[in-house]
Structure 1
Amino acid sequence: MNEQITSPQGTPPPNYLVFAILVTIFCCQILGIVSIVFAAQVNSKWSAGDIEGAINASKNAKLWAWISFAVGGAIAIILTMLSVFGILLGISFGGFDF
């Protein structure tokens, strides 16, 4: 019994690797790494014939990339608000009188 495993026909689902790398660099590193791990699994699972696994890995890569983007955006908004409030508080208490 010599079974030969062939890769499925067609194109694999998108792996979102570029999106995962960009959100890792610019937004949230920890969650971006999770997205990169799932993105790296898409093509290998597709080549191994695990179509369902490749589709799930693709969905997870996209999900974690968007979560990373949202967390990074929320942190940026919070830090901007804290900076503006700090400057306004400093102005109101005369902290910038030279």
Structure 2
Amino acid sequence: MTTPQNPDGFGQDPFNKPDSGQPQYGPQYGQPQYGQPQYGQPQYGQPQYGQNPYQGGPPGMEPDNNLVWAILSTVLCCLPLGIVSIVKSTSVGKLWAMGDYAGAQQAADDAKKFAMWSAIAAVAWWVIFVIFYAVVIAAAVSNTA
């Protein structure tokens, strides 16, 4: 189909729509609308899984969970305080993954605190034990003489 503007027929509308001479603005059916997310595409700026939308992104690296110190204090020092330290240190990663960054830092600090208290309790126990043993030996030696 030739027109006065296009005498050789190239560039014609394949659907034979009448050309009104005006460009069509706005969304066409079946065409993506710019600025709108499409199905299955990530929406940037939206919180992803594990992020709390009210706290923003993570403030830095995950805090050290002090698990090694917790295990050593449990095995070598004081069992009850060491167990509490292990429980606190294992909750650091879970809290961080859920987006509770302040809670993860608090759990890491608590794990370190309980591990230190376990070590201090063990040192105090051994000091008391050595003093008691020395008193018992001194009493036994004085009774035999």
With normalisation by structure 1, the TM-score equals 0.87
Residue matched to 1:18:
68
Task: Specify the SS of the correspondent of 1:33.
Answer: helix
1:6 and 1:44 mapped to 2: Cα distance? 10
Residue matched to 2:126:
76
2:117 and 2:136 mapped to 1: Cα distance? 28
Q: Does residue 90 in structure 1 map to residue 140 in structure 2?
A: yes
Question: Which of 96, 104, 111 in structure 2 is aligned with 1:61?
Answer: 111
Task: Specify the SS of the correspondent of 2:75.
Answer: helix
Question: Structure 1 runs of 4+ off > 4 angstroms?
Answer: none
Q: CA deviation at 1:90?
A: 0.5
Q: Which has the higher helix share?
A: 1
Amino acid at match of 2:100: D
Higher gyration radius (CA): 2
Unaligned runs of 5+ in 2: 1-45, 52-57
Residue matched to 1:4:
48
1:29-68: CA deviation from partner (whole Å, max 9, x where unpaired): 0011000000001111111111011000001001111111
% identity of equivalent residues = 37
Tell me how large the CA RMSD over aligned residues is. Answer: 1.9
Question: Which of 13, 21, 30 in structure 1 is aligned with 2:80?
Answer: 30
Q: Does residue 39 in structure 1 map to residue 89 in structure 2?
A: yes
With normalisation by structure 2, the TM-score equals 0.60
> Using CA pairs below 8 Å that are at least 6 residues apart, which structure has the higher relative contact order?
1
Q: CA deviation at 1:6?
A: 4.2
Q: CA deviation at 1:4?
A: 2.8
Task: Specify the SS of the correspondent of 1:71.
Answer: helix
